[in-house]
Amino acid sequence: MKVDRDQVVAMIKEMAAVVAQNKEYLTDLDSAIGDGDHGINMDRGLRKVLEKLPPVADKDIGTIFKNVGMGLISAVGGAAGPLYGTFFLQFGKIAAGKEELTTSDIGAMLAAGLEGIKQRGKAVVGEKTMVDALEPAVEAFAAAADAGKELLACFQAAVAAAEAGKKATIPLVAKKGRAHYLGERSIGHQDPGATSSELLLRAMLKVLES
Amino acid sequence: MVGIVIISHSLKAAEGIKEIAQQMGREVPIVAVGGTTDGDLGTEPLAIKEAIERVGEVDGVLLLVDLGSAVMNTQMAVEMLEDELQRRVVLCNAPILEGAVVAAVESAMGHTLDQVRRAAEGAAQMEKLL
Amino acid sequence: MPEIVVEIKNKSGLHLRPAAEFVKKAGEFQADITLERDGKSVNAKSILHVQALGVRQGMTVKIRAEGEDAEEALAALEELVYNKFGEE
Residues of B in contact with C53 (CB under 8 A): 130
pLDDT at site B10: 97
How does residue A106 score in pLDDT terms, banded at 50, 70 and 90? very high
Range of the domain at A201: 3-209
Q: What is the pLDDT of residue B125?
A: 86
Nearest to B73 among A35, A40, A81 (CB): A81
Q: Which of A64, A48, A39, A26 is nearest to A204 (CA)?
A: A64
Contact C24 B23 (CB under 8 A): no
From residue B109, give the alpha-carbon distance in Å to each of A94, B112, C25. 49, 9, 9
Residue B32 bridge partners (DSSP): B6
The residue among A42, A71, A66 whose CA lies nearest residue A130 is A42
At residue B67, does pLDDT exceed 80? yes
Question: How confident is residue A1, by pLDDT bands cut at 50, 70 and 90?
Answer: confident
Helix (H, G, I), strand (E, B) or coil at A100: strand
Residue A105, domain CATH: 1.25.40.340
From B44, B68, B75, residue closest to A75, measured CB to CB: B44
Q: What's the pLDDT tens digit per position in A76-98? A: 999 999 999 999 999 999 999 99
pLDDT of residue A181: 84
- Chain B residues with CB-CB distance to C20 below 8 A: 23-25, 104-105, 108
Residue-level pLDDT at B128 = 78
pLDDT at A140: 98
Q: How many helical (H) and strand (E) elements, i.e. helices and strands, does chain A have?
A: 9, 2
Residues 6+ apart with CB under 8 A from B23: B104, C16, C17, C20
Q: Is C15 a catalytic residue?
A: yes
Domain count, chain A: 1
CATH of the domain at C77: 3.30.1340.10
d(CA A193, CA A127): 11
- Residue pLDDT, tens place only, B16-54: 999 999 999 999 999 999 999 888 899 999 999 999 999
- Domain coverage including residue C31: 3-86
Residue B91: left (phi > 0), alpha (psi -120 to 50), or beta? beta
Contact: chain B with chain A (3+ CB pairs below 8 Å) = yes
pLDDT in tens, B79-128: 999 999 999 999 999 999 999 999 999 999 999 999 999 999 999 888 77
Q: Is the CB of B101 less than 8 angstroms away from the CB of C47?
A: yes
Q: How many domains, in total, are found in chain C?
A: 1
Q: What is the pLDDT of residue B68?
A: 87
The one-digit pLDDT tens for each residue of chain C (88 residues) are: 899 999 999 999 998 899 999 999 999 999 999 999 999 999 999 999 999 999 999 999 999 999 999 999 999 999 999 999 988 7
What are the structural domains, with CATH classification, of chain B? Answer: 2-125 (3.40.50.510)
pLDDT in tens, A167-199: 999 999 999 888 888 888 999 999 999 999 999
**B41 in Cβ contact with B65 (< 8 Å):** no
Does residue B130 carry a pLDDT above 80? no
Task: Give the whole-angstrom CA distance, residue B52 versus residue B48.
Answer: 6
Residue A71 has pLDDT above 80, yes or no: yes
Q: Rounded distance, CA A87 to CA A85, Å?
A: 5
Determine the 3-state secondary structure of C4 from DSSP: strand
Backbone conformation region of residue A32, classed left if phi is above 0, alpha if psi is from -120 to 50, else beta: alpha
Chain A residues in contact with B73 by the CB 8 A cut-off are: 79, 81-82
Q: By the CB < 8 Å criterion, does C17 face chain B?
A: yes
Residue-level pLDDT at C37:
95
The whole-angstrom separation of Cα A179 and Cα B125 is 25
Q: In what order do the strands lie in the sheet with B30-34?
A: B30-34, B2-8, B60-65, B89-92
By the CB < 8 Å criterion, does C48 face chain B? yes
pLDDT over 80 (residue A109): yes
For residues A131-159, average pLDDT: 98
